[in-house]
Amino acid sequence: MTGKVILVGAGPGGRDLLTLRGAEVLQSAEAVVYDRLVSPDILELIPQTAERVNVGKENNHHPVPQDQINEILVRLAQEGKQTVRLKGGDCYLFGRGGEECEYLLEHGISFEVVPGVTSALAVPAYAGIPVTHRDYCSSVHIVTAHARAGKPLDIHFDALVQTGGTLVFLMGLSALSEVMQGLLSAGMSPDMPAAVISNGARGNQRKVVATISTLYDAVRAAGLKSPALIVVGRVCELHSALDWFTPLPLHGKTIAVTRPKERIGTLSTKLRALGANVIECPCIETQEIEDTALLKYELTDRWDWVVLTSPAGVSAMVHALQRAGYDLRALYGMQFAVIGPGTAQALAAYGIEADLMPDVYDGAHLGQALVDALDPKERVLILRSAQGGSELTAKLREAEITFADVATYETVYRTDQGDLLRTELANGTLDVVTFTSASTVRGFVEAVGDLDFQAFTALCIGQQTAAQAQSYGMQVKIAKTATIDSMIACLLEE
């Protein structure tokens, strides 16, 4: 059976500007053909089992020619795969989406188009520039300033100037001088406000606002780079008064988040809401240990306490019970101790409230809290990572408390963003790396290799994580309590 091709506009920036429908079809895709400017955090939505094809188009350099992209789409559909063609911005606005749909139609391939948020509207909004305003103008005109190689710009400047509306030029940074000169030659006032916005709608967004006679020199002096767009019109006068994005407290900060993929969203979302440019780079993943005779025995033996040290441990416990043919009723009568609020929340999702949680969220303090709370005859079952530290068990051993330390999952060091991290480090553009466990530190180091670890701040969730970061020579900041909110508060104190 022939598959279907769905063209999806990925929007101008990160996942927060991807449409709900776009995210839905991306998460069920069997193959994804994507462009260079699609944000890495959107690519994280692609299923692990899906085939990925990077066609990486950029200005004047097309690694995969358009006719070959068309053929790839047809081939994948003919293989019976539901294929997503993921394009930056909107599919039908200078994205050659119409050409691709025509080609699919000619070859009998069914298709769907999911519109995206276009940078022509979103980026000016993030820069404090409304493209229309009843006191300034009543029209907006979107123009491509990208010419075919060796060809002049095909722009009717006289007509554009006559409209009196806002002009938005996409893909125009390399032709900025030519565009400004074209407007001046067509009679536009040299004092007309104009702006260039680079990396729009992202935490590392930059803008330069001048006039059409001075903009080129101002942009060169500021060193703005692609991707960028040009806005021309009196509405640019509002850029300061209506700028809501730049004043955000973490704007301009590039922050890497290293949590496991299934846990990364909460921290990333909160950082983006504060204006940060977030790089999602899960440096560890958890792999549950399949049932063994020992594990089945331990889970169904009668214990007084079950100790869980991470949300992954909660999931692994439930799944291990299910694989063994049991459910949570097998744990009836047992009490539960957790290392911190995140683990308590994960446990509560299954209808179980934690009985014990230390004031300081680490293994040593959890161990001491257990020693203080337990009757010496009570027995403890610890369910955690195979790479768990010794601080917890050392406290129980010193108090001569009977316990079993059972590994229900393993922590594997792995990331798909190693190249991106190394580039950011080499360029000196990485400001902060967040670490929520010692294993995320080790995973990060394994991903990037032997680089300068003093070029950024290591924001650590607790003392044990900080100690691991310091062992690699990192400069650390430590959250006052081992929570995501406390880590963010630590950043905001700067």
**Contact in structure between 198 and 262 (CB atoms under 8 Å):** no
User: H-helix or E-strand containing 422?
Assistant: helix 418-427
Residue of 4, 16, 35, 419 marked catalytic: 35
Strands 5-9 and 111-114, sheet pairing: parallel
Distances (CA, A) of 197 to 9, 155, 420, 453: 20, 21, 23, 31
The answer to whether residue 57 is catalytic is: yes
**Tokens standing for residue 35:** 């462009």
Q: Give the SS3 label for residue 379.
A: strand
CB 384 within 8 A of CB 308: yes
Determine the residue type at 316: A
β-strand pairing of 335-338 with 379-385: unpaired
Cβ contact 409:288 at 8 Å: yes
Residues 6+ apart with CB under 8 A from 60: 149, 174
Angle between helices 264-273 and 484-492 (to 10 degrees): 30
The DSSP line for 44-112 is: TTS-TTSEEEE---BTTB-SS-HHHHHHHHHHHHHTT--EEEEESB-TTSSS-HHHHHHHHHHTT--EE
- CA torsion sign for 256, 31, 12, 64 is positive
Residues 6 or more apart from 53 whose CB is under 8 A from it?
31, 32, 33, 34, 72, 76
Gyration radius from the chain CA atoms: 27
- Residue 232 identity (one-letter amino acid): V
| CA dihedral sign of residues 221, 218, 203, 31 | negative
Beta strands 277-280; 284-288: pairing state: unpaired
CB contact at 8 A, 318 and 335: no
The SS3 assignment for 303 reads coil
Q: Which of 41, 57, 81, 207 is catalytic?
A: 57
Active site residue 304: no
386, 407 Cβ separation under 8 angstroms: yes
Q: Which residue intervals of 171-310 are DSSP H helices? A: 176-185, 215-222, 264-273, 293-300
| Cα–Cα nearest to 44, from 412, 312, 417, 410 | 417
d(CA 263, CA 266): 7
Active site residues: 35, 57
